[in-house]
Amino acid sequence: MVAAAAVWTLGPGAGWVLRHVDGVRGLQGKDLADALDAVRGRALAVTTGLAALVAVYYTARNADTARRTLQHSVEAAQRTTELAEQGQVTERYTKAIEQLGSGTLEIRIGGIYALERIAADSTRDHPTVMEVLATFVRQHSYQQAESSTQDSPTMDVQAAVTVITRRNRRNDTRHINLFGTNLTGMNLPGADLSGANLADADLSGTNLWQADLSQTNLKDARLANTLLGAVTLADANLTNTRLIGRDLAGADLTRADLTQVALGDANLAGACLKDVTGFRTDMPNADLTGANLAGAKLSSVLVSEANLTGADLSGGDLPRADLHGADLTDAKLPEANLSHANLSSAKLIRADLTGADLTGANLTGADLTGANLSDVHLTGANLTRAILTDTVHSPGTSWPDGYICPSGST
């Protein structure tokens, strides 16, 4: 249509445009010819411009079509590559599983490390690989436990556990299930077993120095002679475990569940037990020097004869705790709940008990020299033979009925 209009304008239509569009009439000769040429020139310029626009439009359209075609081709190529790679992974996985079931130790170990490479190369296959390895450990460690001649872990079980402990945890989609496994005597320093299910597992004699056991379920696990120095046990479940005499100096047990845990004679100096929970936790004679137990909730805990010098029990909830003979010199106990606790013969020298609840507590023979008793609740407490020299108290301090504040305190 544009082309037809251009042809008409360049031909006989030029005169019509001159008369009816430009309003020019009465020209003759050379003037008329020049005017018609000017009209035709304008028409030619417009036509050329329109043609250029049309060309640009179709060029852009063709370019977009070409781009989309290329994009589809690239995506198709990527899908083909991914399918090919997945096919290769599947082949590698199948071969590794076959190796894992071999009767030859060396071949099984090769299969374990082949699975580790697959987990590293394929995020999608990582959880499956870890589940396969955990199943292998459960099955073979059971067999090892049933063997009367096997005293140490077999090399393939050790290899499988080692691979699990150095996995990329960010690719986990489920907890590692090592329930009831026999991991006795394994060498796993710095191991990452965070979030694993190790309930009822046997870790006797295992080296877990600086291991990450945060959020790990260790309920009923056997930990005799287990090396746990500088271990992380934050949010771990340690219910019914025995850690008597263990060296846990500086360990992180933040928010751990210590229900019925045996920690007698354990070294917990400088350990973080902030916000731990538990019932009837057993820690007699434990070394808790400088330990952080702020916010701990330990009902009926046994801490008799323990060393709590400089420990922080701020805001701790320790009703009916047995702290008989414990050393709490310079300990921080503000706002702590020690109602009906047994603190007989305990040393509370310079201890900060500001706002603490000692209702009904037994403080017979306790040494509170220089202790801060401001706003402390001592209603019903037994202060027989207690030493309160140089103690600090306030109008808010509530004493047992009939008790006369001793001289030498302020």
CA distances from 119 to 83, 130, 137 (A): 17, 8, 17
With pLDDT > 70 as the criterion, what percentage of the chain qualifies?
79
> pLDDT at position 376, please?
98
Distance CA 116, CA 133 (A): 9
Distance CA 342, CA 319 (A): 10
Picking from 351, 363, 362, the residue whose alpha carbon sits closest to that of residue 392 is 351
Q: b/e for 315-346, b at 16 or more Cβ within 10 A? A: bbbbbbbbbbbbbbbbbbbbbbbbbbbbbbbb
> pLDDT at position 268, please?
97
The secondary structure of residue 315, as a DSSP letter, is T
Annotate 237-266 with DSSP letters as a single string. Answer: B-TT-B-TT-B-TT-B-TT-B-TT-B-TT-
The secondary structure of residue 170, as a DSSP letter, is G
> pLDDT at position 255, please?
98
- Global pTM? 0.77
CATH code 2.160.20.80 for 238-410: yes
Picking from 164, 186, 50, the residue whose alpha carbon sits closest to that of residue 115 is 164
Annotate 204-237 with DSSP letters as a single string. Answer: TT-B-TT-B-TT-B-TT-B-TT-B-TT-B-TT-B
Distance CA 335, CA 278 (A): 19
Distance CA 304, CA 286 (A): 9
> pLDDT at position 66, please?
66
Report whether 277 contacts 255 (CB < 8 A): yes
> pLDDT at position 407, please?
59
* Phi, psi torsion values for 23, nearest 5 degrees: 70, 30
> pLDDT at position 171, please?
93
Distance CA 314, CA 296 (A): 8
Picking from 260, 255, 285, 286, the residue whose alpha carbon sits closest to that of residue 272 is 255
The domain spans of the chain are 1-57, 238-410
> pLDDT at position 44, please?
63
What would the 3-class secondary structure string for 325-363 be?
CCECCCCECCCCECCCCECCCCECCCCECCCCECCCCEC
- Residuewise pLDDT in 10s, the chain (410 residues): 555 555 555 556 555 655 655 555 655 666 666 555 665 666 666 677 677 777 766 777 777 776 776 676 556 556 655 544 555 778 889 999 999 999 999 999 999 999 999 999 999 999 999 999 999 999 998 765 555 455 567 899 999 999 999 999 999 999 999 999 999 999 999 999 999 999 999 999 999 999 999 999 999 999 999 999 899 999 999 999 999 999 999 999 999 999 999 999 999 999 999 999 999 999 999 999 999 999 999 999 999 999 999 999 999 999 999 999 999 999 999 999 999 999 999 999 999 999 999 999 999 999 999 999 999 999 999 999 999 999 999 999 999 998 877 655 66
Picking from 407, 365, 366, the residue whose alpha carbon sits closest to that of residue 390 is 407
Place of tokens 């699975």: 115
> pLDDT at position 3, please?
53
